Amino acid sequence: MFGQRFPGLLLCGLLCGSSLFVAGAPALVLAEDKPEEAKKITYDDHILPIFRQRCGSCHNANDQKGGLALDTYAALMQGGGSGDVVEAGDAGASYLYMVVTHDSEPYMPPNQPKMPDAELALIREWIELGALENKGSKAVKKKQSDLAKIEISTTRPADAPVLPQGVSLNPVITTSSPNSVTALAVSPWASLAAVSGQAQVLLFNTETGLLSGVLPFPEGIPQVLKFSRNGQLLLAGGGQGGASGKVVVWDIKTGARVAELGDEYDSVLAADISADHSLVVLSGPKRMVRVYSLQSGELLYELKKHTDWVLAAEFSPDGVLLATADRSYGMFLWEALTGNEYLSMKGHTGAITDISWRPDSNIVASSSEDGTIRLWELNNGNEVKRWNAHGGGVAAMDFTREMNLVSIGRDKTVKLWNGDGANLKTYGGLSDLGLEVAYDAELKRVLGGDWAGEVRVWDSESTNHLYSFLPNPPGLNEQLSATQLRQEQIQQELAAITGQINGLNQQIAGRKQAFETAQAKMTELEAGHKKTLEEQTAVGKQLADAKGAQGTHKSAWDQAQNLLNTTTATLQAIQKELAAKAAEKPQLDAAVTNGMKRVAELSAKLEELQKQGDEAKSELEKVTQEHQAAVKGLEEAKTRVAQLAEQVMAQTKMLEQTQALVSEQTKSRDQHKLAYEQQVASVQALEAKSKQVGDALKAQAGQIESQKKSVADLQKLVPATEDEQKKLAELAGNLKRVETIRDRLQAHLAELQRQISGSSQAAAN
């Protein structure tokens, strides 16, 4: 894992450079107390020949590359320059086995294939069976803890939140005034704070401010508190100054101690637990940094680099590195598994008071009495950001889950910063020098503890001070009385909040009713407007149809009038022609009469001439011709009279027909004219109706616009004004908070009564 992130940091390894082996006590472990003789694999008989052949040229008593010799059992179990290389009973935790199997870099032997599988299997079995020296050696069982190593993860644990259940609420010591807040921590996945007390650690629920448990710490005063990164464990380091120091680890849920580590000659000032629960680091005034196995309790390695009190120590979230810092401005990064020095950070001009890793493990922050917070990168240990945080010095700081930072200082303020050092919020009100700070990521609350012993809790967004608690709780009976009184106050507070909410809701409901009434009226107006629009559309269609019909009737009337005019002209022409023929007829009649008379005269003269004989022959012929001409003229005159009579009769008939047609056309014209006049009246009526509908639409549109404005004005007040919404949200939050406190108080009362009853029963027994 480490080699993947920092490949350039690994030393040459087993055969050519300083070692990366995990240090540990050479305790012997066997899976069985009395293994069968056939299973006994020893260093002398089985392992030494392999090491001589594969590793002896570099790792022998004369060369000892990396401070490691493999040609004797004692030298092998002593380990290399950074500690032991064999974890008896656990091949997977033995760095020697990891590098020869190429499970970890640097691969050994270097630039060569792995050892044969049979040899690797033999080495593994030798370690698993206790890493015995010879056939006369006996394996001993290693001290084990109930704690199991866990997988490192930055996601919410499945069992979160882990909270105390049935942990004692009875304080170890009750004092008249609290001690200074020397240590403060908040669980990463629960609303649970741990606060230092006198010979005890106090657990408080940060949602309610109620005491959730008391963890005895008879070792002295806790100087450092750290929750494990999954929130299951709590570590406390402290002791008695100049006399003793120790680290204690508790199971949060049960309050049971699961580990006690260290035996210092001074109080522990810096400590931490690795993310996988495998390692615990502690240090203090003696300048020695010690790293223990949490599972076995064994000291794995010691670091002697610091020249002054070590005030801060923290493992990176990914478990790869360990950061430590001291009072003389010294700050170092170490490989967490081996203790090999990785980087040295230089820059602070005052005591380094705290260290915190960014959640992604790529940046480490430090705070100092020089008033600054500094961010460091991990490639070369260069400072990437620095800012002045608190006048007089920064006492403590911590990264939040959101990669912001919280800090507290001698200026009696707590501050929230973004990752680039911009100040986001400032929280005031501390009565004395600020000492410890923590951040509740679940509720977004900031906690700050001061020299006077007060721990103040603020809302991170509003910066409002929510409440404070003091790390000197009274006895169970006093807690019971105080809790009962608090319960009564909470009930009154609930009633007041509920009354405020009901009053606001009634106001809002009244405006909502007015809005709904106005909205219904607007809906009614819009429905009427829609109906009028439909009526306007229908009238418009009727008007268009009427105007079309009016045009049709006008056209028919015009056509009938034109036809009547044409027929009347024809009638007049016929009448004129009949008049002409009537004038011609007397002349023809006279011509016929004259012709008949002339024919008669000529006929008489012809008869007379025929009688007179030949002498009248020539005259007879002349008279005969004249007679014939007269007869012909008479016939023609008769024919013309007959034709004229026929023409007169035909034209008279035509005249009669034309007169009838004129009468019909006059009637048709009069009908079309009447229809046109009726259609004109209909169009005028529809136009008047259309105007009325248009006027009604305008009036309705005005009413609708006015109603819309009224509805919009009312809608702004529904469901509430911005201030009311804010107030309601605030009241709802307060109500939820107070209800939670009420429920917690009830549970707390029940637990107090149970514990008081248990104490009374125990006293009686």
196: left (phi over 0), alpha (psi -120 to 50) or beta: beta
Least confident of 1-5, 297-301, 302-306, 395-399: 1-5
Residues near 742 by beta carbon (within 8 Å), at least 6 away in sequence: 487, 490, 491, 494
- Give the C-alpha distances (Å, rounded to integers) separating 379 from 6, 117, 225, 387: 8, 37, 30, 21
pLDDT at 655: 84
pLDDT in tens, 17-39: 333 333 333 333 333 344 444 56
Closest CA to 143 of 96, 88, 91: 88
| Pairwise CA distance, residues 727 & 168, whole Å | 39
pLDDT at 31: 35
Please say if the pLDDT value at position 464 is more than 60: yes
CB count, 10 Å around CB of 222?
A: 31
Q: Show the tokens assigned to 658.
A: 């034309």
Amino acid identity at 664: E
pLDDT level of residue 331 (50, 70, 90 thresholds) = very high
Mean per-residue pLDDT of the chain:
86
Please say if the pLDDT value at position 196 is more than 90: yes
Residues near 100 by beta carbon (within 8 Å), at least 6 away in sequence: 14, 108, 114, 115, 120, 123
Rounded to the nearest angstrom, the gap between the alpha carbon of residue 572 and the centroid of all alpha carbons in its chain is 99
pLDDT level of residue 14 (50, 70, 90 thresholds) = very low
Highest mean pLDDT range out of 28-42, 47-61, 378-392, 629-643? 378-392
Closest CA to 584 of 630, 527, 632, 648: 648
Least confident of 148-152, 319-323, 732-736: 148-152
Q: Show the tokens assigned to 160.
A: 């979160």
Closest CA to 356 of 403, 310, 309: 403
pLDDT in tens, 503-551: 888 888 888 888 888 889 889 888 988 888 888 898 888 888 888 888 8
Using CA of residue 725, residue 730, residue 736, residue 742, what is the dihedral sign?
negative
Domains, the chain, with CATH or none: 2-128 (no CATH), 184-473 (2.130.10.10), 483-579+665-715 (1.10.287)
Residues near 613 by beta carbon (within 8 Å), at least 6 away in sequence: none
pLDDT in tens, 624-660: 888 888 888 888 888 888 888 888 888 888 888 888 8
8 A C-beta contact, residue 213 and residue 164:
yes
